Chain A
């Protein structure tokens, strides 16, 4: 569906993306992650044929986004960052206009507009001026616009930015639902969102791809990042020394919290020392009130990957 080969975009004195190559297969929901200024929006703008790359090429559905822009654009529904809209148009009118621009005409147009209004829950504001809408509604108008010509591919640049938690959940559900019929490439820096919606994650930093895999695989590679948290009263024992002897424990940090001591354990990849710690505590008669495994989140992956060169 998307095929990107050696894509580079440089502005005067600054390279936004550098030799980027990746592919997105039909039906995938791919999350595009990266810190601010990593080149996410630039990549998406090139893919939506808003601007050309300096070198390299990108194919959408087999069409070159620069040379065959019309055909490529026809198969993309693009929602730009911050969703620029005409404030002087009404929601329904705007969607009909956009549908006509994308070649959806006549009776079909009416049906399509009604359908996207329904799907993006815009019924209440259909006759309102876009300029008077709240951020959440504007975002949904942008999404409805991206959907109106039934594109095979959706490119969504930060679809949930600036929304409140309820709206984020709604948009997320909507995107998940869309994933059944569309290929989706979405950028975000809300990480739990990616874990919940995407089949695959591409992390880019400074214009280069740092990681590209399923969320589960990325996490499993980084299991060592997780750890074990322990809150205990080791009495007269030196808890840290004892804990360091447990197999699989790499590093122990101790903090005192009143009568209790808090231990943060970094563990080796694949190890789970909890059982042994429990036995140790029982044997040494420590009081124990917390023993938890901390899972690595995509956030850890993100930090590990994007800060590795610092």
Chain B
């Protein structure tokens, strides 16, 4: 456990040692700030059926910035160690493969959480200034951020998996971006083309649609099925990551 914490500490520090962290943080703030501004001005135009929280998490701007951050966070996790050769001192120290995989994953998750923290201030300020409710209920708040965390875990585990496949960060980023985009936007497919699919396919796509989940959770409808889905998918991806990381022993 103490070795895991040592590795985790190194992972977290490495994010904040590199300028990438600050660039990503800054631009993510800019985009979410812009998104929030758009949502508030939308509400200003007249009565609507949505709260600012619901609007915030269901815009194209949000989707865009959301799928883009995962490759940026995870592309260096394993690729950089392979490229620089630092995997050799790392894996000749008495540490296990699982410890390294989990440290990298939770390091990425920590950075992801830091990325979202400032957005809490938006809703707090909104309530302070307008005296209106940002969400219908605390459940909507909790639901939105819970889903953000779950989605984040799933996509970060995809990113870790992409990174463990290659020593090239660009390739890792492209694989991660494609995989995250496909899984995230598969829900759009369901929305727009539902008539061309049979009943079973349609149901399946509805179950895995992140956009659909976000609509429900930001309304405060916290369903356990997506929770189970994302948690188990995260475990599966981390298991794959571990297997690929381990495979360096028999591949070459």
B interface bracket (residues with beta carbon within 8 Å of A): 20 to 34
Interface set, chain A 71-95, CB cutoff 8 A to B? 71, 73-74, 76, 78, 80, 82, 84-89
Which residues of chain B are within 8 angstroms of A145 by Cβ–Cβ distance? 89
With A51-B249, A52-B250 known to touch, is A101 a contact of B91 (CB < 8 Å)? Answer: no
Shortest CB–CB separation between residue A149 and chain B, in angstroms?
Answer: 9
Complex-state Cα separation, A100 to B14, whole angstroms: 17
Q: Cβ of A50 and Cβ of B88 under 8 Å apart?
A: yes
Shortest CB–CB separation between residue A256 and chain B, in angstroms?
Answer: 54
Q: Quick one: CB contact mask for B1-39 with A, threshold 8 Å, 1 for yes?
A: 011001101100110011000000000000000000000
Q: Cβ of A102 and Cβ of B92 under 8 Å apart?
A: no
Q: Cβ of A74 and Cβ of B2 under 8 Å apart?
A: no
Q: Which of B3, B10, B13, B92 has the most CB of A within 10 A?
A: B92
Q: Cβ of B17 and Cβ of A101 under 8 Å apart?
A: no
Interface residue? B93 (CB, 8 A): yes
Q: Quick one: CB contact mask for B122-144 with A, threshold 8 Å, 1 for yes?
A: 00000000000000000000000
- Give B residues with C-beta under 8 Å from A: 2-3, 6-7, 9-10, 13-14, 17-18, 84-96, 248-250, 252
Contacts beyond the supplied A51-B248, A80-B89: 13 A-B pairs with Cβ under 8 Å: A52-B250, A69-B94, A71-B94, A73-B92, A76-B92, A80-B92, A85-B86, A85-B89, A86-B86, A89-B13, A98-B89, A102-B94, A103-B94
Which residues of chain A are within 8 angstroms of B91 by Cβ–Cβ distance? 50
Which residues of chain A are within 8 angstroms of B94 by Cβ–Cβ distance? 69-71, 73-74, 101-103
Which residues of chain A are within 8 angstroms of B252 by Cβ–Cβ distance? 11, 51
Q: Which residue of A lies closest to B3 (CB)?
A: A101
Which residues of chain A are within 8 angstroms of B9 by Cβ–Cβ distance? 97
Q: Cβ of B96 and Cβ of A78 under 8 Å apart?
A: no
Interface residue? A8 (CB, 8 A): no
Which residues of chain B are within 8 angstroms of A51 by Cβ–Cβ distance? 248-249, 252
Interface residue? A49 (CB, 8 A): yes
With A52-B250, A101-B3, A101-B6 known to touch, is A88 a contact of B14 (CB < 8 Å)? Answer: yes
Interface residue? A48 (CB, 8 A): yes
Residue of A85, A89, A102 touching B93 (CB-CB under 8 A)? A102
Residue of A11, A87, A103, A142 touching B3 (CB-CB under 8 A)? A103
Residue of B13, B14, B89 touching A78 (CB-CB under 8 A)? B89
Residue of A52, A78, A87, A100 touching B92 (CB-CB under 8 A)? A78
Task: List 11 A-B residue pairs with CB atoms under 8 Å apart, sorted by A's residue number.
Answer: A48-B92, A49-B92, A50-B92, A69-B94, A73-B93, A89-B13, A97-B10, A101-B6, A101-B90, A102-B93, A142-B89
